[in-house]
Structure 1
Amino acid sequence: MAYSDNEDIWANSSDEEQVAYERNLAEKEWERLQEDHGNTGYKEGIVEGKEVNMQRGFDKGYTEGLVIGKLIGKLRGMISCQIVFYRQLLKNEEAAKELDTLFEEVDKIEVQNIYSVDYFRENGPKRIENYISPDDYVKQLEERVKATLEQVAAKYAC
């Protein structure tokens, strides 16, 4: 049996089967492309969403941290001035040592002392019963510093 130039010697199916086969391949390729592009789009969306939220979080944290940092810096300055006053002007080392202890305590305050993990829980209940918000923490510290300065002044009659 001789084949002409237009016939495919390997062809064993009809034209309809060939069309169905090619359509099946095209559909599988289309599904794969959709899945690949969908995954890529999803990943890009996640990255972009993280960047936007990270910037918002940074902006919020920066403004809050700046305010609290300034307040704690102010407290450190108040204590330092009183230490210099007692140590150098009044030559009262005992009063200065009492304030040194307070200054060291304030100086050791770090971010995790003010901003606990519970601070970052959005719209959820705080897990720790004795949770103190950053603002309350700083207010309590401020009250304690002022009370200690007043006690030292009264104790050493200044």
Structure 2
Amino acid sequence: NDDFDDVFGSAPPSPTLSDEDTHTNHDDRIRSGNLEPSDIPRLKEKHETEGYRDGVTKGKAESVQKGFDEGYSLGAVLGLKIGKILGLLEGLYAALKGGGVEHKEEARRLEILWAEAKEELGTRSVFGTEWWGEDGVWKFEVPGEGDGKEVLFPDVAGAHPLVVKWEKVVDEEVKKWGLNLDIMEGDQE
């Protein structure tokens, strides 16, 4: 029944090659028995590329969000500690600056100290590669970390070398000026 020969044809197609066909392309098609150009390699490559991109995008979204959540919490705790340090130094400087001529030298010393603290406790310094790995894990020692104790963000923030340094400086100033920081904790009425 050759009624459809004019449409589908019962004989194999005649090989025709365009100028852009290369000999290797031609040889591959003759070996496979398919003389028509195939979209399969192009489609396979396209799907592999799209699949790779989808996987990377999904993986990034999940890991970036998790990293952001953890980093945000640790950053918040660090920010509170640093804010307290800078606030106390600024407060001492402001109090001494308004204290008249007898405190002029001390006011200047605290102004310089406060400026140094702002520089050292800035975001670039605190989160620099000196203190943090590319994976976001701290490089400094945190007490209890090797003892199997659960290490919390306040432990990490409190062990940051810059925070430790400036908390000592602030503690010395608090003692020197006889400040009672318990009032700030709300324990006093």
TM-score (norm 2): 0.57
Q: C-alpha separation between the residues in 2 aligned to 1:45 and 1:73? A: 40
What percent of counterpart residues are identical? 26
Deviation of 1:93 after TM superposition, in Å, equals 1.1
> CA offsets per residue over residues 19-67 of structure 1, 9 Å max, x none?
x979636894334323321211111111221222222222222211111
Deviation of 1:16 after TM superposition, in Å, equals 9.8
Could you say which residue in structure 2 is the equivalent of 1:116? 128
RMSD, matched Cα: 4.1
State whether structure 2 residue 138 is matched by structure 1 residue 138: no
Give the structure with the higher percent helix.
1
Q: Whose RCO is larger (CA < 8 A, sep 6+)?
A: 1
Q: C-alpha separation between the residues in 2 aligned to 1:142 and 1:99? A: 15
Could you say which residue in structure 1 is the equivalent of 2:73? 63
TM-score (norm 1): 0.66
Aligned length: 142
Deviation of 1:113 after TM superposition, in Å, equals 0.7
Unaligned runs of 5+ in 1: none
Could you say which residue in structure 2 is the equivalent of 1:147? 172
> CA offsets per residue over residues 44-94 of structure 1, 9 Å max, x none?
111221222222222222211111112111111111222233232465111
1:140 maps to amino acid: K
- Residues 25 and 101 (structure 1), Cα distance of their counterparts in 2 relative to 1, 3 Å cut: farther
2:40 maps to amino acid: W
113, 124, 140: which one aligns with 1:102:
113
Unaligned runs of 5+ in 2: 16-28, 142-155, 179-189
Could you say which residue in structure 2 is the equivalent of 1:52? 62
